[in-house]
Amino acid sequence: MLFAATLLLGGCAEEQAPEKEVVRPVRAAKVADPGQLKGRKWPGRASATQEVELSFRVAGPLITLPVNIGDVVKQGDIVARIDPRDFEVNVRNIQGQVERAQATLRRASSDLGRLESIYKQDPGATSEAAIDRARQIRESARAEVHSIKASLTSAKDKLAYTNLKAPFDGIVVTKYVDNFEDVRAKAPVMRILDDSRIEMVINIPENLIGYSAQIEHVWAAFDAIPGVEIEASIKEVGTEASETTRTYPVTLIMDQPENVKILPGMAGKAWGQMKDRPDVSAVRVPISATFTETEGGKTYVWVIDESSWTVSRRAVETGELANLGIHIDSGLEPGEWVATAGVNFLQEGQKVRILSQ
């Protein structure tokens, strides 16, 4: 009776503690629809191709500030000037030092030449030690000339730094100081930007960024200028996705239109036209998402059902291998999730969890 009771209790315990289902974490990707790039407009904001905050390399009181906000400047124009008198005095002082050092060098060279001539005519009239000392004095004088000339170059550079010049054609958009103020070295004086060309940054999702190379034509329009479409081109594609939005920045660049002017900061949208080639619109998946059975030679992928978060094996027909992955001719539709790693360790109907990274 005791033995039977023990078996009965053990059976009840097993029924009360069922096995916990294991949810396997997997890496996965959503099958992209290249058509989203064709009809979708991507928001962005205009910015200047070049912009810089100008500052002096030296400190001193301003004596010239000939530009105002909104003024157009050309490359090389003087936009501000520091009082140069102290720097000019320093240059003249060092020039005097250079002249004295050069005179000393000439005298030392003359003394050495005279001793060498005497020694050549009458070796007993002087000694080699005296010639060596004269040679050392000449080399020291020569080094002093080089050192002071370097100081003169530095002083002339500082004098030149009292003139602040525009590094490119542009427009003054901000001034941080007024004339006759004392300015510090490296403190911002004004901001200049070049708006002859305009850039716009849009953000493309990571499952579509691979198709950006297939965009043939790009246009942009700005909310402040309705009805005007501007042809643009892709300047660069970012290589790192945002951690929060999982999008890649794509920088567009365009010329200013003839009859209107785009200002930095204007909001707008951009869209593109993809190349008219069959492979551009093909569905692609990473090569690591596919696997082949030993018998039969069919190719499969693991499709993830978003309602139950389970995987199911599906046969697909593959095409050519490209830089963006392997072409799937049939068996997959855009928007479906497929596992992209560890495909040989999954089982039919297994519950999974997509890794966030």
pLDDT of residue 11: 54
- The rounded Cα 53 to chain-centroid distance in angstroms is 19
The CATH number of the domain holding residue 245 is 2.40.30.170
Pairwise CA distance, residues 25 & 350, whole Å? 11
Whether 180 is covered by a domain: the verdict is: yes
Where a domain ends, among 117, 143, 160? 160
Task: Please indicate, yes or no, whether residues 141 and 239 belong to a single structural domain of this protein.
Answer: no
Pairwise CA distance, residues 263 & 254, whole Å? 12
Task: Please indicate, yes or no, whether residues 77 and 167 belong to a single structural domain of this protein.
Answer: yes
pLDDT of residue 357: 46
pLDDT of residue 3: 56
The CATH number of the domain holding residue 99 is 1.10.287
Task: Please indicate, yes or no, whether residues 288 and 346 belong to a single structural domain of this protein.
Answer: yes
Pairwise CA distance, residues 301 & 7, whole Å? 46
Q: What is the number of structural domains in the chain? A: 4
Q: Is 79 within 8 Å of 54 (Cβ atoms)?
A: yes
Where a domain ends, among 160, 180, 208? 160
Measured in Å, how far apart are the chain's first and last C-alpha atoms? 58
The CATH number of the domain holding residue 77 is 2.40.50.100
Task: Please indicate, yes or no, whether residues 348 and 291 belong to a single structural domain of this protein.
Answer: yes
Whether 27 is covered by a domain: the verdict is: no
Task: Please indicate, yes or no, whether residues 200 and 273 belong to a single structural domain of this protein.
Answer: yes
Pairwise CA distance, residues 324 & 229, whole Å? 31
The C-alpha torsion from 346 through 348 and 349 to 353, rounded to 10°, is 20
Pairwise CA distance, residues 242 & 199, whole Å? 20
Give the pLDDT confidence of 193-203 residue by residue, as tens digits.
998 999 999 99
**Best CA proximity match to 302, nearest among 335, 346, 334, 355:** 346
Where a domain ends, among 160, 180, 205? 160
Task: Please indicate, yes or no, whether residues 96 and 123 belong to a single structural domain of this protein.
Answer: yes
Task: Please indicate, yes or no, whether residues 244 and 276 belong to a single structural domain of this protein.
Answer: yes
State the residue range of the domain holding 139.
85-160
DSSP state letters, 107-174: HHHHHHHHHHHHHHH-GGGS-HHHHHHHHHHHHHHHHHHHHHHHHHHHHHHHHHTTEEE-SSSEEEEE
Task: Please indicate, yes or no, whether residues 216 and 334 belong to a single structural domain of this protein.
Answer: no
Task: Please indicate, yes or no, whether residues 179 and 58 belong to a single structural domain of this protein.
Answer: yes
Whether 314 is covered by a domain: the verdict is: yes
Give the pLDDT confidence of 54-66 residue by residue, as tens digits.
999 999 999 999 9
**Mean of all residue pLDDT scores within the chain:** 87
**Best CA proximity match to 183, nearest among 264, 65, 291:** 65
pLDDT of residue 208: 75
Task: Please indicate, yes or no, whether residues 220 and 314 belong to a single structural domain of this protein.
Answer: no
Whether 168 is covered by a domain: the verdict is: yes
Give the pLDDT confidence of 138-147 residue by residue, as tens digits.
999 999 999 9
Residue with tokens 């998402």: 289
Whether 293 is covered by a domain: the verdict is: yes
The CATH number of the domain holding residue 340 is 2.40.420.20
Pairwise CA distance, residues 271 & 200, whole Å? 12
Whether 5 is covered by a domain: the verdict is: no
Whether 299 is covered by a domain: the verdict is: yes
pLDDT of residue 86: 95
Task: Please indicate, yes or no, whether residues 289 and 276 belong to a single structural domain of this protein.
Answer: no
Per-residue pLDDT of the chain (357 residues; tens, 9 = 90+): 555 555 555 555 555 555 666 788 888 888 876 666 666 889 999 999 999 999 999 999 999 999 999 999 999 999 999 999 999 999 999 999 999 999 999 999 999 999 999 988 888 888 889 999 999 999 999 999 999 999 999 999 999 999 999 999 999 999 999 999 999 999 999 999 998 999 999 998 877 777 777 787 899 999 999 989 999 999 999 888 888 888 889 999 999 998 888 989 999 999 988 776 555 556 778 888 888 877 777 899 999 998 888 999 999 888 877 655 787 888 888 888 899 888 888 889 999 988 864
Task: Please indicate, yes or no, whether residues 214 and 252 belong to a single structural domain of this protein.
Answer: yes
Whether 59 is covered by a domain: the verdict is: yes
Backbone angles phi, psi at 354, to 5 degrees: -75, 130
Pairwise CA distance, residues 277 & 207, whole Å? 20
